[in-house]
Structure 1
Amino acid sequence: MPANDRLRSERLRRGWSREYVAAQIGVADPKTIGRWERGDAIPSAYFRQKLCSFFGLSAQELGLYQEPAHAVPPTSESPACGSARTHEESSHDSSEQPGINKSIFDPAMPLVTPESLSPIGRDRILSQLKSQLMRERSGNTVALYGLPGVGKTTLALALAHDPEVQAHFNGGILWGRLGSEPHLPALLRHWAALLEIPPHIQLRLESLESWIQALRAAIQYRRMLLVIDDAWSYAEALLLMVGGPQCAYLLTTRLPVVALHFANERAFRVPELEQEQALALLERFAPLATRLEPEASRTLVQAVGGLPLALTLIGRYLQAQTYSGQIRRLRAALERLQNPQLRLSLEGCDATVEPHHYHAQAAPPSLAAALAISYRRLSREARQALTCLATLPPKPQTFHETSLGQQVSAHTLDELLDAGLLESAGPDSYTLHPVIAEYARSYSHLQDQDLAQSVSRPVTASAPLAERSRAASLGSPERPARCPDLAPMVYHGGERSQPSLPALHYQDHQQPAHANPLALSP
């Protein structure tokens, strides 16, 4: 069989190596490309289609329109060797043909409940998201950002289970949760298995770049939706953009900057629920409470600022206390829920917070655990500032930057904004969500208790090592300074003027260095 000069010339004209072409179309051995170019073997029908799609040319233009394989004579090698190679090539090609028409629904997607598939108060944003995701444009990206527990993952799940979305993305839906400590190699291996990349090919992939190329070659022109959940880094999110021109990406993140970098004007902020919507969500789980104790229910809704995760956890707690219909038990539960620390520590079995096998970090089971992830990433100055700001009236009240004097720097306010813990309320104005304020106050209070206990109980050199280490850490400079209580204040025409915040004694802080995601190895 004559050499295929057309295939070779088109490859060289584009500056592509045989290794690159092999990775893009899913061929395990780059030498196979060379055999096709020399005419030692011909690609199967499957790989002819892959080559045509990859080069954007017809089979005739690539010189792939040949006589049937059984009519191809052997080359300079012995007949037996040539025949064996042709048979080996044919069987090798057929074994590497994944089900390209198979629709994938990622089993690692969080389990859902009927309630999470029809989130209350989200019809408008769901409609907007569907419209954006289903638009015909290459590299379509959409992002969701907002407070921890505001329901970003719930919205992504509702979209992934929407029949219209599934029909549009007929190639399937892949789900990848990053988290604050992602394990990218495990996630990419999971996607490779779903896309039926053969194990012997996966064994040859030795870097993140090779995994990404193999995934892109496997996806090609499939119309797929790739969900990137709980992203903390734009660079890490980019590594999961492994789809082809007909794929779309939906990202969720707490960090506004990550969302804007990923999707530009298609980044949507997910707001908290309005009061009536929040009451409807609470009623979904505890109708007895909203019917018999409407004022107490409204007080709870205001205390958590319409945050869906908080309302879901409270609702499930009340559900467990009121199933018997005992009014006494309901009122006792409502009384206990007036304690902010109880609300923060409630744990639930909500489907969107269940861990999965390849996740490096399970989703948080409580509000306190969810907020702790963001809090731990703050500098010491930002933690101190958050503790002080928590003494001010929370959202919907606002405070002005000038009222803080020199006690909280603009740089620290910017850090809290970028962390998604502080919200902008106009030029030089800010607001703090009540749940975040409760967490900051509770965290400071618990640290004060721990410190008092360690001071009242002397720790000698003979004490256990764990106890001595704990005492040292409580008294170390790493502990954020406690902000003295501020006098109550009323804003915008209130009875009292705004006192200035007490002086904070900041200390140098060095942000932890984050490893380069490209340096990770599978």
Structure 2
Amino acid sequence: MLSADPLPEPNWDAFLGHLPVVLERVDMVPSNLATALGLDRSAVSHWLAGRARPSRENLRAMARELRRAFSSPLELLDWMELAGWRPSEEDLRRWFPHWFAEHGKLPRGPRLVDQRYVLRPAGRMVGREEELALVRGWLTSAEGFRRPAVRVVTIGGMAGVGKTTLARAVGEDPLIEAYFRDGVLWARLGPQPNPRRWMLEWARLLGWTPQSGGPAGRYLARFLADGERRVLLILDDVWPNTPFDPLIALAGPQTRVLITSQVLTIAELYGRNRLLRLGLPDHEEAVAMARDLLPPEMDTKEQARWLPILGEIVEAVGRLPVAIRVAVAVSLLEGPEQVLRDLRAKEDVAPPRPERVLRLEIAGPDPRQSKAWAAFEVGYEALEEEDRRRFRALGNLPTGTSFGVKVLAALWEEDIEWAEAAARRLVRRSLLEQVGGNRYTLHTLLHDFAAARAEEAGERDVKGKWTERVAVALVGKPPWWRPVIPRVWTGPKPFSREWWVQGKEEFLRDVSQMILPWRREAEGISVETWATGKALLRLIDRYTLWFVLELSLLLILTLATAVLTVLDVPSWLIDGVIEAIFYLDIVILFSTGWALVIRLMDLHRLYHLPKGPLEAGEAADRITLSGPAGSPQ
């Protein structure tokens, strides 16, 4: 039954807004309609005033009484759907016999299942119910009778996040198939689209043949220009500065367009648009995606063995759906433990090697699996050369961290204004994610990709010199005689009587935790804190080396003085020089030791510094001032 098909949410304003037009066509007034429906004469007036709404029985009676106002059953259907109701095909055949005698049946256009070039999913879509409902609502919304509220919907996001999967789920949704009765048409474009090919495919699906007369593009344009034709055009993988506009230009008055793209600014090219930025699934959804890829014949005991490992695997690949599919596919061949070891192996190399998923993709057995590496490559190649250089430099950052504009300016060695503009461009290209205000983060696999490209270009900053630039930008060049990190924790002052009793163990424990893990990835802390800590560690290394050298020189001078005394060498000049060097070395040794203690104190303060001061990008003269005591985080 037609009436059993799913319907969009009612739009009473649009429905009742068109009622006066319908009444005028049949030369009726609201009171006449109320009488014909067997209602109080003021009932229809109450509907128009928004004080009441018609029931299902009222709607069916209205359709019967007002059918003469419509030239076709499709026009009546379009109006009644605004009220969240659809008459049955049996009623329509009884009300519009001449139309059905000519056309035979209501239109049912091509669906995605009819289109051989639509890539079938490797598995069903797991999660994303809210996103699906949101896109579905946008595509079926109306601001009036046959006046779509939204014409273009863009699903944006990084490569491999599931944009195509969501678009396919939208196109195969029962409500969308019922609403777009004349067809749901798919085109996969990419960086080098061929619009003429898709025009030909679509025209054939809609009934065009070489014998039809006229080119396929003209037939398609006439078909979509018909105000009764409801068609959804899905354009997958759209890129700017490519010839995809001819396909959108075909859209008629009731045509909607759904676009997927890594470039978020695509949505700004058209009026009445909506943008859905598709993010990563949460941990539970990601594990459910991975579990859904397991063979259905796998027994419960075996699934129980897999589940804890799947949780680690999905986090190791950053919960990116395409990488999850690849990792699970390879796990079924080699075993989940082996795949997890391969993913963990990246973390054990210093500097980290960008090979987290590359080997897994090469071993992937299913050709339907989209390759994250190839998708990243397309987005990278579409950048300007300077933005490519900036993106490669992001591979020097630690993974799993957030960072501000000052970090980017120091990393790229440019002004903050230029860095902020470049960061916005990378965000619009879905190669960088903005996490609030002027803070950003880089997906772990994009980080690996950037590191790989930096290594190929010979631009890997293995020594981490960029951390010194970041530290100077945040706290200034640290003087050797005083701390630069504010003291914000409660407890005894370092080196006080109470500190020697209570605090020295905590101090030594904190400093050892910061010094010992030299190659530790900065999971869970900001790049500002991590880079400042690395710069402090580098200064501690330098001061320690100087201290050892000066102490060695002091011992050598002491030994030389003793030898000269034993040999009774009479030389007041030599004695004077040695004595001068001796006392000078003592002064330098004391200064170096003091500087070493100060930097250790900075490291201790940094360890207890709550999130905020460094990340907020405050001026150096503010951050270097010792603030009031507070509680550590």
TM-score by structure 1 length?
A: 0.59
Deviation at 1:414, TM superposition (A): 3.2
Quick one: structure 1 residues 297 and 189, their matched pair in 2 at CA, closer, same or farther if it must change by over 3 Å?
same
Partner in structure 2 of residue 379 of structure 1: 384
> What is the distance in 2 between the residues matched to 1:235 and 1:444?
28
> What is the distance in 2 between the residues matched to 1:290 and 1:229?
35
Partner in structure 2 of residue 187 of structure 1: 198
- What does 1:108-507 correspond to in 2, within 5 Å? 108-113=116-121, 115-116=123-124, 119-136=125-142, 137-138=147-148, 140-200=151-211, 205=215, 212-219=217-224, 220=226, 221-233=228-240, 236-241=243-248, 242-262=250-270, 266-286=274-294, 291-292=304-305, 296-321=309-334, 329-338=335-344, 339=346, 341=355, 343-345=357-359, 346=361, 348=364, 365-395=370-400, 397-406=401-410, 407-408=413-414, 409-410=418-419, 411-445=421-455, 447=456, 479=457, 481-486=459-464, 490-491=525-526, 494=529, 497=532
> What is the distance in 1 between the residues matched to 2:221 and 2:177?
21
Deviation at 1:434, TM superposition (A): 0.8
> What is the distance in 1 between the residues matched to 2:252 and 2:230?
8
Task: Please list every run of 5 or more consecutive structure 2 residues that lacks an aligned counterpart in the other structure.
Answer: 1-70, 76-102, 347-353, 468-520, 536-633
> What is the distance in 1 between the residues matched to 2:326 and 2:154?
26
> What is the distance in 2 between the residues matched to 1:214 and 1:432?
46
Deviation at 1:350, TM superposition (A): 6.1
Deviation at 1:178, TM superposition (A): 1.1
> What is the distance in 1 between the residues matched to 2:230 and 2:239?
26
The residue identity in structure 2 corresponding to 1:173 is: V
SS in structure 1 of the partner of residue 323 of structure 2: helix
> What is the distance in 2 between the residues matched to 1:273 and 1:217?
42
Confirm or deny: 8 A CA contact 1:344 1:368 kept in the other structure. Answer: yes
* Residue-by-residue CA offset, 1:340-378 (whole Å, 9 max, x unaligned): 52513415566866xxxxxxxxxxx42111111111122
Structure ranking higher in helix proportion: 2
Confirm or deny: 8 A CA contact 2:267 2:273 kept in the other structure. Answer: no
* Residue-by-residue CA offset, 1:490-515 (whole Å, 9 max, x unaligned): 42884761679xxxxxxxxxxxxxxx
Quick one: structure 1 residues 404 and 131, their matched pair in 2 at CA, closer, same or farther if it must change by over 3 Å?
closer
> What is the distance in 2 between the residues matched to 1:392 and 1:255?
23
TM-score by structure 2 length?
A: 0.50
Quick one: structure 1 residues 426 and 331, their matched pair in 2 at CA, closer, same or farther if it must change by over 3 Å?
closer
SS in structure 1 of the partner of residue 204 of structure 2: helix
Partner in structure 1 of residue 5 of structure 2: none
The residue identity in structure 1 corresponding to 2:532 is: S
* Residue-by-residue CA offset, 1:302-321 (whole Å, 9 max, x unaligned): 22221111111111221233
> What is the distance in 2 between the residues matched to 1:263 and 1:301?
38
The residue identity in structure 2 corresponding to 1:292 is: R
> What is the distance in 2 between the residues matched to 1:290 and 1:431?
34
> What is the distance in 2 between the residues matched to 1:290 and 1:174?
39
SS in structure 2 of the partner of residue 115 of structure 1: coil
> What is the distance in 1 between the residues matched to 2:367 and 2:230?
27
Confirm or deny: 8 A CA contact 2:407 2:528 kept in the other structure. Answer: no
Task: Please list every run of 5 or more consecutive structure 1 residues that lacks an aligned counterpart in the other structure.
Answer: 1-48, 54-96, 206-210, 322-328, 354-364, 448-478, 501-522
The residue identity in structure 2 corresponding to 1:260 is: E
SS in structure 1 of the partner of residue 396 of structure 2: coil
* Residue-by-residue CA offset, 1:27-85 (whole Å, 9 max, x unaligned): xxxxxxxxxxxxxxxxxxxxxx99xx9xxxxxxxxxxxxxxxxxxxxxxxxxxxxxxxx
> What is the distance in 2 between the residues matched to 1:149 and 1:125?
16
Deviates most, 162-171 or 137-146: 137-146
> What is the distance in 2 between the residues matched to 1:498 and 1:429?
19
* Residue-by-residue CA offset, 1:173-211 (whole Å, 9 max, x unaligned): 111111111111111111122222241566x54xxxxx6
> What is the distance in 2 between the residues matched to 1:492 and 1:432?
11
Quick one: structure 1 residues 442 and 104, their matched pair in 2 at CA, closer, same or farther if it must change by over 3 Å?
same
Confirm or deny: 8 A CA contact 2:392 2:451 kept in the other structure. Answer: yes
The residue identity in structure 1 corresponding to 2:311 is: R
Partner in structure 1 of residue 604 of structure 2: none
> What is the distance in 2 between the residues matched to 1:399 and 1:98?
63
Structure with more relative contact order (C-alpha pairs < 8 Å, separation 6 or more): 1
> What is the distance in 1 between the residues matched to 2:140 and 2:365?
32
The residue identity in structure 2 corresponding to 1:367 is: A
> What is the distance in 2 between the residues matched to 1:498 and 1:239?
54
Confirm or deny: 8 A CA contact 2:161 2:320 kept in the other structure. Answer: yes
> What is the distance in 1 between the residues matched to 2:152 and 2:374?
29
Quick one: structure 1 residues 198 and 404, their matched pair in 2 at CA, closer, same or farther if it must change by over 3 Å?
closer
Quick one: structure 1 residues 480 and 145, their matched pair in 2 at CA, closer, same or farther if it must change by over 3 Å?
farther
The residue identity in structure 2 corresponding to 1:191 is: W
> What is the distance in 1 between the residues matched to 2:390 and 2:422?
7
RMSD value, Cα: 3.3
In the alignment of these two chains, the number of paired residues is: 348
